[in-house]
Amino acid sequence: MLALMKSLTQSFLGKVIAMIIIAGMAFWGVDQMVAQFRNGLGSNLMAAGSEAMDMPTLDRRVEVLLKNINAQSDDPITKEQAAEQGMIDQVFELMKSRTVNLGFARKIGVEPSTEAVIAELKKVDAFRNPLTGELDLATYQRVLAENRFSQQEYEAQVKDDLALETLRGGAEAGLIIPALLSDIQTRYLAESRDVAWFILDATKAPKPAAPTDEEIKAFYDENVDALESPERRAIDMIKLSADDFISQVEVTEQEVATIYEASKSERFSEPEQRTWLELMFDSRDAARDAFGALAGGADPATLQAVASRESRTAKADEIDDVLLRDAMFGPGKQSGALFGPKDMGDGRWLVARLVSVQPGAVFPLESVSDQIRSELARDRATQLLYTKLDELDRAIGAGYDLARIATELGVPVISFEPVDRNGYTEDGLPMLGLMGAQDALAQAFDIPVGETSNQFAGADGTYITSPRKVIAASTPDFETIKEDVKTALVMRNEGQAVQKMVQDIQAKIQAGETTLEAQAAAAGADVMTPPAAVTRVNAEQSGLPNAAIGAVFSGKAGEVFTFPNRTGDHYIIIQMKQVNDPSPGDVAAATAMASTAVTSSLRSDMSAALEQDVQKALKLRVNNAAFNAYKASLSTDQ
């Protein structure tokens, strides 16, 4: 297909077609631009009152979200993947709410002061000077630069956050929780229920009679559509990764030795230890005076007003105090480095001085040479892989078949027996190697036999596929799969027999024809009860599954409920015996939880009401076309 397009564009007719396409795209773009200016948004994605948000701001929000997600994940995601999972849409919805609320806040005059912004900055530990523990401009600007924020941009965000907090706080400021509501919620949580249950062994259910040939055929006819075997394809695949080219690179002993010498103290040694002196003072002024004296070169032994002094030796990972660790072990810290004064929270103030650095023992070259050689070989193999990927692009563009591409790249073609779209053979065996190809596997079902897919990056390599043979979807005839159909029918009948047994027990107990205890005895099972009556506060400690707890508190006295275990071979038969009024002890245990629940619920209702009033008072204008264009720009196919 690519080769055909390439040859077509060399002809006069092809050039005319290309000009028509380009002209059409240009007119489409003009139409979109006119629509954009008509809605009054200009280059913005959305606006409400004087507040607006443009595409770079949305992109920054998305980048911050992904940075936070990927910092906690072993499997980082890209913007394209975030768009596919709906994360970009969620961010956009949040920004719509933020924009309209900020617009309303500006409209009614909510404007945080400079002093309020500074107070917020002082709360951020990362902005504090590691020596003084106070807000420091140089530290603040350095941290912002490391996180790709300008000072103006970050402070504007803090100001917006304060405005929103003030808006919400104002709406909730007059909220008073009625005692009646708290009392109702308390009684709701403290109400207790007496329950009892036993475990029924479902494998003891009566076995149904073996099905006749007529019943088997009827079951086959009923499920003939489900018995259809899906289309399967025999697929050839090429997988490229750095591992394929490690054997083609060379690493010399001299290179290993050079890397070792250059980085042995940082990478190939035991962690260093450091010794520092901790001086405690009874006042901040005394600590500051001592800090100044030490900074001027004074001997710690000559300092006055020292309440206590202690010498400590440790490794960096043994220090819990992050600021102290940075001051003693940070880059470039040498003997004489200072930390403090720091308020210890008990009336004492700490000043620390680094005394000495004890480097860790260096590992011998022989013990780390294999690691260095492997890392260097993989790095070079990765560089070679990038070259091969460029060659792959050219080969696909030239319309080469998979065999020729493999020959050009020097990698093998992997052939798989016919599989369905999920990568399973007719016998149900998973072709794991092919499943790893994901998008390349999917495309192999959308292209003709012999054609080559695009290249797709997977978790452990780049994949290209080509279908070798197509086996059309078909339904096996009855005689071929009669025994399999019989097995399925027997399993269904046995399952229905178990269901009938359980339902009969449930109905008889609930109708009063028998008791839970009598049925448990007949089943050879023990009746169990929780240590105390079950309340909504202690329900999780009762030993009952969550589904049973929900049923117990939604049911009536005497009702019976049944729930299977995961494998379906045992059932819990549970009866709600009695509903009890709250006891004084249960009320006391539920009071705090009830107050929290009511407060949270009313605040949520108040926030929702505020959101509705804001949307009525201020119109939010949204450029959905521009947002869709932004999402489309995240695709690697663009």
* 15 has a pLDDT exceeding 80: no
pLDDT tens for residues 273-306? 999 999 999 998 899 888 888 888 888 888 888 9
In the chain, the largest separation of any two C-alpha atoms, in whole Å, equals 104
pLDDT tens for residues 61-80? 888 888 888 877 777 788 88
- Alpha carbon distance 133, 137 (integer Å): 12
**537 with 590: CB under 8 angstroms?**
yes
Beta bridge partners of 194: 578
- Alpha carbon distance 330, 350 (integer Å): 18
CA–CA distances in Å: residue 438 to residues 327, 464, 596: 48, 10, 47
| Predicted pLDDT at 420 | 94
Nearest C-alpha neighbor of 163 from the set 70, 100, 101, 71: 101
- More confident position, 637 or 437: 437
pLDDT tens for residues 459-504? 788 999 999 999 999 888 899 889 999 999 999 999 999 999 999 9
**334 with 325: CB under 8 angstroms?**
no
pLDDT tens for residues 415-460? 999 999 999 998 889 999 999 998 999 999 999 999 999 989 887 8
The full DSSP string for 406-453 is: HHHHT-PPEEEEEE-TTSB-TT--B-HHHHTTTHHHHHHTTS-TTPPP
- Alpha carbon distance 241, 246 (integer Å): 10
CB atoms within 10 A of CB 19: 10
> Per-residue pLDDT averaged across 215-221, rounded?
92
Residue 460 is given by DSSP the state S
> Per-residue pLDDT averaged across 82-102, rounded?
90
| Confidence at 132, pLDDT banded by 50, 70, 90 | low
* 19 has a pLDDT exceeding 80: no
| Predicted pLDDT at 16 | 37
CA–CA distances in Å: residue 280 to residues 284, 311, 323, 336: 10, 12, 17, 17
- Alpha carbon distance 470, 432 (integer Å): 20
| Predicted pLDDT at 443 | 94
pLDDT tens for residues 401-422? 999 999 988 889 999 999 999 9
| Predicted pLDDT at 402 | 92
For residues 66-104, one letter each, b for 16 or more C-beta atoms within 10 angstroms of the residue's C-beta and e for the rest, the string is beeeeeeeeeeeebbebbeeebbeebbeebbebbbbbbb
Give, in degrees to the nearest 5, the angle at Cα 161 between 160 and 166. Answer: 95
* 7 has a pLDDT exceeding 60: no
Length of the chain in terms of residues written: 638
Q: Is the bond preceding residue 584 a cis peptide, omega within 30 degrees?
A: no
pLDDT tens for residues 180-191? 989 999 999 999
CA–CA distances in Å: residue 57 to residues 6, 43, 157, 567: 39, 12, 11, 51
- Alpha carbon distance 361, 303 (integer Å): 35
| Predicted pLDDT at 17 | 40
| Predicted pLDDT at 444 | 94
Nearest C-alpha neighbor of 87 from the set 458, 634, 623: 634
**462 with 240: CB under 8 angstroms?**
yes
- 287: which residues sit within 8 A by CB, 6+ positions away? 279, 281, 340, 341, 349, 350, 351
Please state, rounded to an integer, the average pLDDT across all residues of the chain: 86
pLDDT tens for residues 580-607? 999 898 899 889 998 888 888 888 888 8
| Confidence at 41, pLDDT banded by 50, 70, 90 | low
* 157 has a pLDDT exceeding 50: yes
Q: pTM for the full model?
A: 0.50
| Predicted pLDDT at 637 | 43
| Predicted pLDDT at 130 | 62
Torsion, Cα of 30, 36, 42, 48 (10° steps): -170
> Per-residue pLDDT averaged across 122-126, rounded?
85
| Confidence at 21, pLDDT banded by 50, 70, 90 | very low
Give, in degrees to the nearest 5, the angle at Cα 102 between 96 and 105. Answer: 145
| Confidence at 40, pLDDT banded by 50, 70, 90 | low
